[in-house]
Structures are given as C-alpha cells and as structure tokens.
Structure 1
C-alpha cells in the first residue's frame, strides 16, 4: 500500500511484545495503552470538572416552525473558578414526535457571522436549515468560549480554571493538556448537556470538526465513547493524516506555528516523526467500533488527502477485531465519489480547504445508514 508501513508502530502489538488477537485484549490492554501514549506524547492530560450545570436561556420556534431554537449555558467549575460554554441548538419539529432527534454537533473554529439564520443566504460551513430538513438536530459551540486560540502561557480560558494562577510555562508538566485537548474537553461538556435533553437522542450524536476542529473531533471521540460518530474534515497533521512521510504540514510546522495546541512533549518529535510511538491511524482506532468519517479536498495539499485516507485504511485491523468491517476498498477515490462502509467513511471533494454543504450531505448520508434513520 505505502512504503511508510515499515516505520509505523504495530497497531495490535502491546508494549510487552504480545500480539493482540481478541476483542477483549484490545479493550482491556491495547486500547488503554494507546490512549495513554497519545496523552503522554501528543495531546496531554485532561482534568475532570468539579461540577457541570445547565441553563436553557431561550427556547422558541424558528425556521418558520420547522425547528425549536434553544440557547443553553453550560457552566463548569474547576479549582480556580468557573466558565460558561454557550450552546446553540435547533431541534427539528417535523419528525415523529414520539422519537428524540439525532444530533450533529459542530465544533466551530470560524467566526459567528453565519449563525444569524435570518440572513437570506446561509453559510455552507454550518447549514443548520439543511441539517434540520434532513431530520437531525443542529448544534454548535465556539472553541473560543472554551479556550481562545492564542498562546498566552495557558492562562486564559479553561486552562486558567484548572491550573494555579501564575504558573510559568516551564513548570507545567511536559504532558499537560494543550488547546486541542481543551476544545475536546469542551465537546464532552456539551455532550453532558445533550445527555439530559429528552428532545435529543444522546445515543446518536455525531461530532464534526473542520481543520483544527477536525483534530479536536477525533481526540474528543477517542476520549468520550458517548459520541456515536466522529467526523474529521480536512484535519491533516495531528488530525486524520499519517505523520510519517506526510506531505504539506508536518509536526515541526504545526508545533512552530501553534505552540499551544499540544503537550510540550510533542515538540520532541519535530522532524523526528519516525521516533513517535504512535501515529494517527492509532487515534482513529481508538474510536472503534463506532463510526468515523474522514473527508478531504483536492486542493488541500497542506492536509495531504492521501495520508488522511491511509490513516483510515490502517485503522481497519482494530475495527475488524471488534467485528466491524473496513472501508471495503484499497483504492484512493476520485473526487465526489464517497466511500461509505458500515463504520468507516471517506470522500474527496473538489476544491479548497473548507467545509461545504456537499460535505455535510455526505456526512448525513453516512449517518442515515449507520443511525438507521
């Protein structure tokens, strides 16, 4: 398949040299081992909130009666204060009233202009009306409400709530959580709320992210098994794409441009990808046997579509071990020809690094099949 295979860690080989051959050994031994490697070397360690509370600040009809709009404040506390994550949610009214709605949750790393759904033209990045028309609830939160995307020494956002004020960067543990882990933590706090809303089906929640949000969605899905489907769009380096031999953005590039995104330990692997004890197919494997969907764009060479596709293929052994089939093909697809396996999905869209309505309809087609909707 690829000459990089010789340098990759063995997905099913435990650190003690024993090969995993059963689902039980994967669940009890290898999966926790891989999760620990990612916490130590890449994303860092997330804390647990001291408390989480919810307040529905608004609930009213919207979209000409097609949906109910809810604005929810999710308040959490840590040792050094509290924070609030505002959640915007549209629940479809046209579906069977006796059944809760499945949910698409977007981790938003763009501006909020498109959230004004009274505008005549809607932004494709979050086509809430199209999502509702398909029978799904459309939910969104903004990453800046969890942790602003800037390197200020981990004093703002959620980091300042869980770390002692004035702690110098040099005194943070080398496996302390970075901003991507903080955003993933925020997605789990949103999931805490979705679990309580009887209008929603918490067993059918898909979490979606684009670019840095796509990296976040994958880590959130690896940590939080309540997410039934994880969608990573154009996530590239330290997202869906294999790091070894990757074209475009490398570990060095991403750590240099965004030094706050990952644990300090990750910088040890700048230009040393082959020494990293994990690679991104192992991240996708942590989601097995739940659904994973990866999408790429033809002009997004920085993310490297071939490496994103390869990651899905290399995660297949974990899925098969858990009685879930793979993609069903070894061939990299042509644009606009989605591959929808039972638990793994992929498509390549013509165009640039972006999240388009075409992508959303592919995600929903895949969810229709897997959520039996």
Structure 2
C-alpha cells in the first residue's frame, strides 16, 4: 500500500514539474499580437507617421474631386524613370553595369516600395503526402496527391503554418511530366468511388449507426428496404468527347500530358490585415506586427509557391 501511495505522489510531482516547465518555456516567447484589419492599418500608419489618408475621388461628376473617366489625362506618372539610367544620372552602357548597379537599384525599389523585403532566415518546409487517390478526370487516368507542407515552427511554436496543396498528374504518359502551379482550392478532382460491394457494406454500417442513434429509424428503413442513404457519384463517361478548347482548363492540361498543382494561398498567408501576425509572416515575426518594408502577402505567396517546386 505504501508503495502504491509513493508511486502516486511521484507521478503527481512529476506532472506538476512538467507543467511548470511547459509554462516557463511558453513564457520565453513573445505573446501573439491579435489585430483587426483596422488596427493593423492604423498601426502601419503610426509607424509611417501618417495622420490621415487623402480621400478618394467622388462618384459625383459635378464634384470638384470627381473620378476621372478620360483616358487621355489618366496618367499620374507622365515621366517614368529611364530603366537604363542609374540613379546618379549615368547611363547603363555595359552588361556589367546593368547586373552590378542598375538591376540592384530596381530590386531595391521594388522591395522597399512594392513587395517588401524577404527575411534572411525563413524556416524550412517538410512535405508529407496525406492522401493518394487514383482517379479519372473525364477519360484521363490520374494520380491525385494531397500534400501538406509543415513549416518548422520550433523557434516560435505558438503559430502553425501548414501549406495545403493538391498535385494531379496523368498516368497515361511515360516519364516525367511538366506541372503547372496555380492558386486555388486544393480539392480532389474526381474522388475514386467504392465498388457496389463496398458501397453495400458502407450503407449497412451507416444504417446500423443511425438505428443505434435513433431506434425509430429501423421502421423507416424496413419500410424502404431498397433505399440506400449513401450513393456513388457518376463514374467516368467513356463516350464523352475528347477535351478541346471549351473543356475545363485543368482537363485540357491533363489531356496535353501536363499535371497541375493547386495551392491554397491562405494556408501560407492570409490576405488581410487581421492575419498578418499569423501565417508565415507572423511566424517569422514571432507573432508581432509588420514593419513598413517587411514582406507582404504577395511575396509570401510567391515564397510558398517556390517551396512547392
């Protein structure tokens, strides 16, 4: 009896110490900042020292600040910088000047003013195949793989980033196939359906489950013995016309021997101010708000797409 009591006390003390260690570990990470889109916008204005935003054009054509519909005067930048002139006024006359001087100037402008700067240290992505399914898209046999790219969050475990992607490749071609990456909803194009025998087992189990949950359902199923609660989706139509220019774009790709990958950009980074302390931007910033020249959603999406390659 004393031995049992001693073991219980030991387990309680160990669990208490473990819980304290977990709490201590969490305390070493900066707390997550949660903004609304409006708060994120105001935070950025404060960082830039902007007190108010210039009002947009009025929809009233008689107003002094009415919107312009005349293309001849719709030119806010009448004189664009010469792409082959350095900022110091010197002309680009050789390839070396272009690569070593002018091109870096242009990149700097785009990073500072448009897309933001990519962080020097971005965590690694580890890809795993979640589901593999053999399907038919129209008459084309394919393999569809649902992949998840987990971003290493060991330096800030308060944020999880799991990139969602669907890879679909035709199996009626030999050797490697080119793949087009696109942003969208990564769903299975035409999930494989169970055989009639398997479907009968599924329906039998489903009916038993429903009767167990509600015994009155037995009388309903007895009244309609041939009714199947779960049915199959239509299978491939072998008599359908071959894909042409009017077919779904992804089916045209598969018919041409290409594969495609659909990537969910929101699984990389949300496209709103409220999500900028989450996603890959939030993970790199450890849950803190962006600085004015930090990378934004567009560059984060490009980074995620590059990880798919």
Question: TM-score scaled by structure 1?
Answer: 0.43
Shift of 1:141: 0.5
Cα distance in 2 for residues equivalent to 1:144 and 1:88: 14
- Superposed displacement of residue 161, structure 1: 0.7
Equivalent residue of 2:178, what SS? strand
Distance 1:173 1:188, change over 3 A: same
3-state SS of paired residue (2:273): coil
Unaligned runs of 5+ residues in structure 1 are 192-373
Q: Which has the higher strand share?
A: 1
Partner of 1:131: 253
Say which one has the larger Rg.
Answer: 2
Distance apart, 1:153 and its partner CA: 6.2
Give SS of 1:66's match. Answer: strand
Aligned residue number for residue 325 of structure 1:
none
**What residue in structure 2 maps to residue 159 of structure 1?**
281
Q: Which residue of 2 aligns with 1:179?
A: 297
Query: SS at the partner of 2:108?
Result: helix
- In 1, the alpha carbon distance for the partners of 2:263 and 2:247 equals 13
Note the C-alpha offset of 1:104.
Answer: 0.8
Equivalent-residue separation in structure 1 for 2:248 and 2:93 (angstroms): 41
Separation of aligned partners in 1, 2:107 and 2:95 = 16
Q: Structure 1: how far apart are the matches of 2:171 and 2:186?
A: 25
Say whether residues 1:188 and 2:300 are aligned partners: no
Residue 84 (1) aligns with residue 162 (2): yes
Alpha-carbon separation, structure 1, partners of 2:187 and 2:163: 19
Contact residue 57 and residue 71 of structure 1 kept, 8 A? yes
Match of 2:89 in 1: 17
Find the counterpart in structure 1 of residue 177 from structure 2. Answer: 101
Q: How far 1:62 moved relative to its partner?
A: 2.0
What's the CA shift for 1:44?
0.8
Cα distance in 1, alignment partners of residues 166 and 278 from structure 2: 23
| CA-CA distance at 1:114 after TM superposition | 7.2
* TM-score normalised by structure 2 residue count: 0.51
- Output aligned runs, 1:350-369, within 5 Å: none
Q: CA RMSD in A?
A: 3.2
What SS does the corresponding residue of 1:58 show, helix, strand or coil? strand
Which residue is equivalent to 1:149?
A: 271
Name 1:236's counterpart in structure 2: none
Distance 2:300 2:169 in 1: 27
Q: Superposition pairs for residues 264-279 of structure 1, below 5 Å?
A: none
Distance change in 2, residues 1:49/1:101 (3 Å): same
* Number of corresponding residues: 180
Q: Which has the higher contact order (CA 8 A, sep 6+)?
A: 2
Q: Which string of whole-angstrom CA distances, capped at 9 and with x for unpartnered residues, describes residues 303-359 of structure 1?
A: xxxxxxxxxxxxxxxxxxxxxxxxxxxxxxxxxxxxxxxxxxxxxxxxxxxxxxxxx
Identify the residue that residue 113 of structure 2 maps to in structure 1: 41
For 1:30, the equivalent position in structure 2 comes to 102
Q: Give the aligned partner of residue 73 of structure 1.
A: 148
Counterpart Cα distance in 1 of 2:247 and 2:88: 45
Q: Deviations over 1:41-85 (max 9, x none)?
A: 111112242222111223332225622212221122254234211
